[in-house]
Amino acid sequence: MPEHSGMDRRRFIRTSLIGSAGASLLAAPILEAAAQIVNTPQVQYINGVGLDDPMLVQLSINENPLGASPRAIEAVAGQMFSMNRYPFHMQLEEALAEHHGVESDMIFTGVGSSEILLTLTLAAFYKQAGNTVTGIPSYPSVPRSTEKYGGKVKRVPLTKDWQLDLPEMLKAIDQNTRIVNVCNPNNPTGQLLDADELEAFIRAVPGHAIVCVDEAYIHFVDDPKYRSMIPLTKELDNLLVTRTFSKAYGLGGVRVGYGIAQPELLDRLTAYSVGSLNKNTLSIAAALGALEDQAHVRRSVKVAKEGKAYLYKELLAMGYQPLRTQTIFVTVDVGSQAESLVNRLAERKVNVRQAFDMEGYMRISVGLPHENEAFISAFKTVRSAL
Ligand SMILES: Cc1ncc(COP(=O)(O)O)c(C=O)c1O
């Protein structure tokens, strides 16, 4: 299994910083300090960025294999001595507002986009009956919390080509529908809706239902015709678009996400959050640093694109038909033995997962080239052993 043997932590952080940030950052004393702080005396083998287990190939939860932007790391290091101060400021909201061309009161930052999705369902179903309309398979966060809070879920099957069935979802909406859940590109299928069709759908949803468009994977979309639904939030008061720093920005462990909607809609959600203290000094610093470094986002997208091309090629050569996705993962039909394949891979410390609600499908998050190769090599072994 590939690994960078003999690389200690200090060298590792310095190498990753040099590699991705360029020589100019090296001079920054704060980086030197950060490198010192994380230095440990014992030698560690590093496989994936951010993993201490030398043998683990972690391709199951759609993390950014490159790690965070060096600017985010530097920004966090710069805040280490301010941890005693409450973060009562709106710097992240202001930066995001500028980034997206909206007012800062249209941004609600949270503990990952998970918090936005959770407060949305709380706002809709706390002591109130009603239903959520969603596709299946699709990201289960909103439907699951809908049921947890006593709401009903209307699950509309995808079309034969794994697309959210917008006409059928529209038909499923009734006067008790409180949330219409649209994950785009969808997880676990990786498919993207046509932007015009999605916009027409959103406009057709009656005003009493909130349309939530989850754009967690939007950066990885390579269809040049596609556009985000964020601009539409300025016009429609029942539209919420969610985004995350966990994927293209590489900050899954720091937990920052946000929702964009009109202030009245956001007020309904924030009533169920910890308020502005749902953020912390370090996560704000990381997100601000990451947002400034769009070159790192582009690098991450490139790694995903190249990794997908490699996985498609290898899987096709093995006789599989992987779905072409617009995300950071590949989903592939491996048949009735999907569960044992996933388990056998896990025994070899190669973590992938069964695609939820897709019988017989495996979902592989794209890693660094050597991680993708490790997956393919282990997959060939476990497959021939079955
Ligand atoms: C489609 C989608 N939405 C939201 C999330 C939640 O992400 P986070 O809470 O890290 O922002 C995920 C995580 O994998 C996801 O796949």
* The CA-based dihedral angle spanning residues 69, 74, 79, 80, taken in that order and rounded to the nearest 10 degrees: 110
pLDDT of residue 126 exceeding 80: yes
**pLDDT tens column, 18-27:** 444 444 444 4
pLDDT of residue 12 exceeding 60: no
> DSSP letters of 109-147?
EESHHHHHHHHHHHHHHTT---EEEEEESS--HHHHHHH
Q: Relative to the CA of 111, which ligand 1 atom is closest? A: 9
pLDDT bracket for residue 28 (50, 70, 90): low
pLDDT of residue 220: 98
Q: 94: CA distance to ligand 1 center in Å?
A: 23
pLDDT bracket for residue 52 (50, 70, 90): confident
pLDDT bracket for residue 39 (50, 70, 90): low
pLDDT of residue 62 exceeding 90: yes
Q: 347: CA distance to ligand 1 center in Å?
A: 26
- CATH 3.40.640.10 is the classification of domain 80-292: yes
Q: Which of 37-46, 144-153, 213-222, 312-321 has the lowest mean pLDDT?
A: 37-46
Phi/psi-derived region of residue 112, left when phi > 0, alpha when psi is between -120 and 50, beta in every other case: left
pLDDT of residue 49: 76
pLDDT of residue 38 exceeding 90: no
Q: Please report, for residues 61, 114, 145, 154, 170, the alpha-carbon distance to residue 150 in angstroms, rounded to integers and kept in the order given.
A: 28, 19, 9, 13, 22
Q: 365: CA distance to ligand 1 center in Å?
A: 13
pLDDT of residue 77: 87
Q: How many residues does the chain have?
A: 386
Q: What percent of the chain has pLDDT over 70?
A: 88
Q: Which residue has the higher pLDDT, 92 or 48?
A: 92
Task: Please state, as a whole number, how many other Cβ atoms lie within 10 Å of the Cβ of residue 78.
Answer: 16
Q: Please report, for residues 51, 330, 338, the alpha-carbon distance to residue 320 in angstroms, rounded to integers and kept in the order given.
A: 30, 12, 13
To test ligand 1's pocket by mutation, which of 144, 219, 246 has the most ligand atoms within 8 angstroms of CB? Answer: 246
Q: 366: CA distance to ligand 1 center in Å?
A: 16
User: For residues 238 and 257, is the Cβ–Cβ distance under 8 A?
Assistant: no
pLDDT of residue 45 exceeding 60: no
CATH homologous superfamily, domain 47-68+294-385: Aspartate Aminotransferase, domain 1 (3.90.1150.10)
**pLDDT tens column, 320-371:** 999 999 999 999 999 999 999 999 999 999 999 999 999 999 999 999 999 9
**pLDDT tens column, 79-110:** 988 899 999 999 999 999 999 999 999 999 99
* d(C-alpha 286, C-alpha 76), whole Å: 6
Phi/psi-derived region of residue 46, left when phi > 0, alpha when psi is between -120 and 50, beta in every other case: beta
Question: Cβ contacts of residue 144 below 8 Å, gap of 6+?
Answer: none
**Ligand 1 pocket by Cβ (under 6 Å):** 62, 112-114, 139, 183, 187, 214, 216, 244, 246, 252, 257
Q: 216: CA distance to ligand 1 center in Å?
A: 6
Q: 385: CA distance to ligand 1 center in Å?
A: 34
Q: Relative to the CA of 256, which ligand 1 atom is closest? A: 11
Mean pLDDT of the chain: 90
Q: Relative to the CA of 61, which ligand 1 atom is closest? A: 14
Residues of the chain with CATH 3.90.1150.10: 47-68+294-385
Q: Which of 11-15, 105-109, 151-155, 244-248 has the lowest mean pLDDT?
A: 11-15
Helix residue ranges per DSSP H, 79-111:
91-100
Residues of the chain with CATH 3.40.640.10: 80-292
Q: Report residue 258 as tokens.
A: 């946000």
To test ligand 1's pocket by mutation, which of 108, 111, 115, 139 has the most ligand atoms within 8 angstroms of CB? Answer: 139
pLDDT of residue 51: 77
Backbone angles phi, psi at 47, to 5 degrees: -100, -85
Average pLDDT of 146-170? 97
Count Cα atoms within 13 angstroms, Cβ side, for 19.
11
